[in-house]
Structure formats: C-alpha cells, structure tokens
C-alpha cells in the first residue's frame, strides 16, 4: 500500500492531504514524489486525472517549507516555484489544488492567465507569492511589467507540455525559461514523449528520471460505453430520454462545434433542463461561471466542445454524452475520461448517425475494441425493445430488462478487463488539439443523415450499439 504517511510530509501538508480524503498514492504519486523530494528532474508521462497535480505540488511544497514565513514584506515571499500550463481553466484548476495542499502552511500561491484584468493579478503578485501558476502569454506580460520576478525560482513545472507546444507556446516557454536561474529542479509532464518534447527536455532538464504511468489509447475500465445510432433530429430527444430513464443527475454533453454547442445548450435550456455551455467563443468570465455552476450542481448539463473542456477535472460526473461522434478518435477517449474517474462507475453514451460509420471505426481501431450495433426503438417516453413494430401498433412494450429499454439478452454491455495500468482516465495525444480546434473554429455541425424529414414523428427507430471487448 502506497500510503502518504510513508512520505513523512510536513504535518501541515499531511493534514491537508488527510482532509482531501486520499487513501493511498496514485501510481504517478508513488513514483514521482520521492524523486522530486530528492531534488531530481522528472520527465513524466501522465495525464490529467491520474493525480499528477499532487505528484508535483506536494514534494515541491515540502521542499519549500523551509522558506515559510509570516512576514508581510513582499521581499520575503519571492516566486520560488513556477507551474506553467497551456489553458486558463487548467491553470485555475491546478492553482486551486495547490492552494488546498498549502492551506495550512504560510506558503502563498497565485494564478495568472490571460483574458482577465491584469490589475488584481498584479496586486496579488506585488504582495509576494511562493508558488506562481500561469499560462505562458500572461506570465510574459507580467515579466515585462516587472510584476513577476523569477530570479529566485527553484522549481519549474511544465505541465501538459505537449499541448503547450501544440498551441505554439515554444517561443514563449523559451523566453520564460531564459529568465530562470540555471540551478533549479525542472519537472516536465506530457501525454506523449514526441521528438519535440524530447528536444525540449534535453534543452532544459538535467538527467531527468523518466516516469511513465499511463499508456495512450485505453479507456478506463470503470466506464460503461453505450452507443446509439440516432438521426440528427432524434438526438435531443434521445438525450432527454436517457437522462430521465437512467436518472442521470449530471452530465457532460460533447458536441463538435461551437455553434452546435451554443444551439444545443439553448434548446435544452428551453426544454427546462438546467444547462450551461462551454466553448471557445464564450468570454473567460462566462466559462469560469459555467464551470463553477456545474461544479456546485446549479446546472445539470454542461454542453461543451473538446477544446474548452480538455483536462478539466470535475469530480463524480456520472455520465458523458457524445452528442456528436468526435472527429478524432482520441477525443473519444478524452471525452469519456471525464466520467468514471478515480475508480467511480461511469456511463458514456454516444449518438452516431449512419454517416459517422468511419468515425466509429476509428474509435474501434484506436481502442482496439469491437463496437457492436444493437437496435432499439425510441418511443414517446421510453425505449422499447428492438423487435420491429408496425406503425399502428400502440401497445406498450415490456420486453426490456432495464429502464433504458435495451434488450440485455443480446446486448449486455461488456466491460473491458480490469487492468490497473489502464485504469487512469486518459488525456489524448495532443496532435488532436490542433485538429480539434480547427474543426471547432470552422463551426461545423455533424452531418445530418439524409432522407429523414423532421416532420416524421411517431415510432422512430434508433439503433444502439454497445461496446464489447
Ligand atoms: P489530477 O490528475 O492532478 O488532475 O487529479 C485528478 C483528481 O484526483 C483530483 O480531483 C485530485 O483531487 C484527485 N486525487 C489526487 N490524488 C489522489 C489520491 N491519492 N487519491 C484519490 N484522489 C486523488
């Protein structure tokens, strides 16, 4: 058992960890924490959702405890640790976690990212902070304004480094790193070790210890995956029906375009569902508010695009809907990794229309798992069995063995074998980021299956497919 107690953390840190309710260390924590405590550089292949944030922040805070002081003088609180992340949401998320771990210490943590007024950030920086979490662009603004002084930095974390390179942050990173003392500990986390990442590591890390805890292309075994073949016109109705029948309290609903995201959120809202939208055209403030409302349970559905939702850690989301099949199979793994986190059971429901066949095949190839189609009928209020019915047959059907109406005799969802190595939610390899953002920015909508009139209402047929292994 990898207990936190064996780390002999400072009592203030240990108290904060105990309050988080963590029972044991995750694989990345068990491997990385002792290495960081010993002062070595780390090159870690681990995705969001694996407990990576604690893996770097706990040892970093532990080693900075010696600098703890209660002085009000900003000079006594220089930036000693710098954590760089590609997006505002991730920066905010990581800073919140670091603050939780540091809350019983006197170490201060601040976060700076773009899209927000610089003044409050400047005021906070001027008071002095030991741990600075930042996105590269905004950090450079603060460096230029001399509100961020980095000449006493001892620790640097390049988190989600592959995505930072994808976004084109390399020149910014190089500039930032040039301001830092050469004597420091550098930690680099990335979903993949591409040649670019290796080059970055060889330039800025010294004899790093390589730690790899999650393999790509695997879905968490705690997530039950369920596919329905639904026409565009039926998707909204199918979504509402499954939510109701499976009594799903909260869910992410993924769509492929910003426009589709806004439209769907609006129409679900009109239907009386508590919904928020998260996509790149929303202001930073709106995005943070939507996330916050979802986390507090004030909204039940968070309709989002891939780019906006990537890497977000929201606990206990019982279900994820792929309202559109993602254009990149890797995004499928990323999306469904939002549910079934930290060993919890999760449900991933995907709606595919006939024209999505190729995308479904891509998912099969990537996950190396066969997806089997099952047919069911979508009735007014519930799914009924897949047995063909005539249009004038109005009798209620009772052939289903669960409330979703899916006939289990033929289509019992089969979970992949449990493999602790794969049980970490997966963050996809980042080439997808660029492709996804291109797709999102084109504001495409998923293709509508030809030949189905929106006016044809009764007794619509849909097909479902379950993943088996
Ligand atoms: P991260 O990969 O850092 O984004 O963490 C994902 C989630 O796992 C966060 O909500 C953490 O609070 C949680 N977490 C981190 N470490 C542990 C642990 N040892 N046991 C259980 N949950 C953890």
Q: Which residue blocks in 251-368 are alpha helix, DSSP H?
A: 258-270, 284-295, 306-309, 329-336, 357-367
Does 21 contact ligand 1 (Cβ within 6 A)? Answer: no
Distance in angstroms (rounded) separating the CA atoms of residues 78 and 68: 11
What local confidence, expressed as pLDDT, does residue 379 receive? 61
Which pLDDT belongs to residue 394?
A: 31
Q: Is the CB of 29 under 6 A from ligand 1?
A: yes
pLDDT digits (tens, 9 = 90+) for 346-369: 889 999 988 898 999 999 988 888
Establish whether residue 25 lines the binding site of ligand 1, counting it when its CB lies within 6 angstroms of any ligand atom: yes
Would you state the pLDDT for residue 380? 57
Query: Which residue among 1, 5, 26 is best mutated to probe the pocket of ligand 1, counting the most ligand atoms within 8 A of its Cβ?
Result: 26
Q: In the prediction, which pLDDT does 285 show?
A: 78
Which carries the bigger pLDDT value, residue 163 or residue 176?
A: 176
CA-closest candidate to residue 461, choices 359, 389, 372: 389
Q: Ligand 1, closest atom to CA 49?
A: 2
Higher pLDDT, 57 or 464: 57
Kindly report the pTM of this predicted structure.
Answer: 0.61
What's the sign of the alpha-carbon dihedral 12, 16, 18, 22?
negative
Q: Which of 380, 382, 389, 388 is nearest to 403 (CA)?
A: 382
Residue 374: the pLDDT is: 62
Kindly report, residue by residue over 135-147, the tens digit of the pLDDT: 999 999 999 999 9
Cα 269 from Cα 266, distance rounded (Å): 5
Q: Please state, in angstroms and as integers, the Cα–Cα distance from residue 83 to each residue in 72, 155, 398, following that order.
A: 24, 8, 56
| 444-454: average pLDDT | 35
Q: Which two tokens stand for residue 249?
A: 């309290």
Q: Which two tokens stand for residue 229?
A: 């073949």
Determine the pLDDT at residue 32. 95
Q: Is the CB of 338 under 6 A from ligand 1?
A: no
Ligand 1 pocket member 22 (CB < 6 A): yes
Question: What does the CA dihedral 298, 301, 302, 305 come to, rounded to 10 degrees?
Answer: -170
Measured distance CA(3)–CA(13) in Å, rounded: 14
pLDDT of residue 291: 85
- In angstroms, the Cα distances linking 448 to 41, 64, 180, 371 are 51, 56, 53, 22
Whether residue 75 is predicted with pLDDT greater than 90 in this model: the reply is yes
Q: Which residue has the higher pLDDT, 65 or 310?
A: 65
| Structure confidence at residue 330 as a pLDDT band (50, 70, 90) | confident
CA of 313 to the centre of ligand 1 (A): 9
pLDDT in tens, 274-329: 999 988 777 777 888 888 899 888 999 999 988 766 667 676 688 999 999 999 88
Dump pLDDT digits (tens) for 384-397: 333 333 333 333 33
């Amino acid at each position: 058992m990898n207990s936190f107690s064996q780390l002999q953390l400072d009592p203030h840190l240990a108290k904060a960890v105990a309050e988080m309710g963590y029972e044991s260390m995750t694989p990345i924590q068990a491997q990385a924490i002792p290495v960081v405590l010993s002062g070595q550089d780390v090159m870690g292949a681990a995705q969001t959702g694996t407990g990576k944030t604690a893996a770097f922040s706990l040892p970093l805070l532990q080693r900075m405890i010696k600098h703890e002081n209660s002085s009000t003088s900003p000079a006594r609180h220089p930036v000693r640790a710098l954590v760089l992340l590609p997006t505002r949401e991730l920066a905010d998320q990581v800073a919140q976690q670091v603050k939780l771990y540091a809350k019983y210490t006197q170490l201060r943590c601040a976060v700076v990212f773009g899209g927000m007024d610089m003044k409050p950030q400047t005021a906070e920086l001027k008071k002095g902070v030991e741990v600075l979490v930042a996105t590269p662009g905004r950090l450079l603004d603060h460096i230029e304004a001399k509100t961020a002084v980095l000449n006493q930095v001892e620790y640097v974390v390049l988190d989600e480094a592959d995505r930072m390179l994808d976004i084109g942050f390399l020149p910014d990173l190089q500039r930032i790193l040039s301001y830092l003392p050469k004597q420091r500990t550098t930690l680099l986390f990335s979903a993949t070790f591409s040649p670019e990442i290796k080059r970055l590591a060889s330039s800025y890390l010294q004899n790093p210890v390589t730690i790899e805890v999650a393999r790509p292309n695997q879905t968490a075994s705690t997530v039950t995956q369920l596919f329905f073949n639904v026409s565009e016109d039926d998707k909204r109705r199918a979504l509402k029906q499954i939510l109701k029948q499976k009594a799903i309290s909260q869910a992410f609903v993924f769509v492929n375009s910003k426009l589709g995201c806004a439209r769907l959120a609006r129409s679900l809202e009109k239907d009386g569902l508590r919904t928020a939208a998260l996509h790149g055209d929303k202001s930073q403030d709106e995005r943070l508010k939507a996330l916050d409302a979802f986390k507090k349970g004030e909204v039940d559905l968070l309709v989002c695009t891939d780019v906006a939702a990537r890497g977000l850690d929201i606990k206990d989301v019982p279900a994820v809907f792929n309202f559109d099949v993602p254009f990149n199979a890797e995004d499928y793994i990323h999306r469904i990794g939002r549910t079934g986190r930290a060993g919890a059971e999760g449900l991933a429901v995907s709606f595919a229309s006939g024209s999505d066949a190729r995308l479904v095949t891509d998912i099969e190839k990537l996950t190396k798992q066969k997806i089997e189609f099952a047919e069911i009928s979508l009735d007014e209020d519930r799914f009924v069995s897949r047995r063909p019915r005539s249009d004038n047959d109005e009798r209620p059907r009772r052939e289903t063995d669960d409330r979703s109406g899916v006939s289990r005799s033929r289509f019992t969802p089969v979970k992949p074998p449990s493999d602790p190595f794969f049980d970490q939610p997966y963050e996809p390899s980042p080439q997808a980021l660029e492709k996804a953002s291109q797709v999102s920015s084109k504001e495409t909508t998923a293709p509508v299956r030809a030949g189905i009139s929106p006016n044809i209402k009764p007794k619509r047929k849909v097909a479902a497919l379950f993943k088996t292994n």
